[in-house]
Amino acid sequence: MKVIAVIGLTSGRATKASRPSAAIAASVAATVEEQNNAVSSIAEGVNRASLEARSGADAMSRVAGASTGARTTAADVKALADALSIEAENLQGEVRHFLTEVQAA
């Protein structure tokens, strides 16, 4: 709007013949102002998109951490299940051996 005010002061000093150029200058100033508003809006959109992208990246990082934790826990559970299976086989062998001895006695 400052541009329009300066143009208005300048055009007031001009002759009647320059009145069309004052209208053109006012139109140009209004167009520049609209363009500034559009650029500002685009910058806000880019900033918002950047924040959302950062938020998404943070969420993916948390998911990756949770996935690593789950993978580690699954490996631990598998190791315990394998150990339990071996113990069950040993116990089954001991029970069979015991039953065989009981039958023989």
pLDDT of residue 18: 58
Helix (H, G, I), strand (E, B) or coil at 95: helix
> How far apart, in whole angstroms, are the C-alpha atoms of residue 81 and residue 69?
18
Query: How long is the chain?
Result: 105
Q: How far from 50 is each of 20, 47, 57, 63, CA to CA, in Å?
A: 45, 5, 10, 20
Q: Give the whole-number percent of the chain exceeding pLDDT 90.
A: 71
pLDDT of residue 8: 52
pLDDT (tens digit per residue) in 53-85: 999 999 999 999 999 999 999 999 999 999 999
pTM for the predicted model, two decimal places: 0.50
| 10 C-beta neighbours (distance < 10 Å), count | 13
- Quote the tokens at residue 60: 């993916």
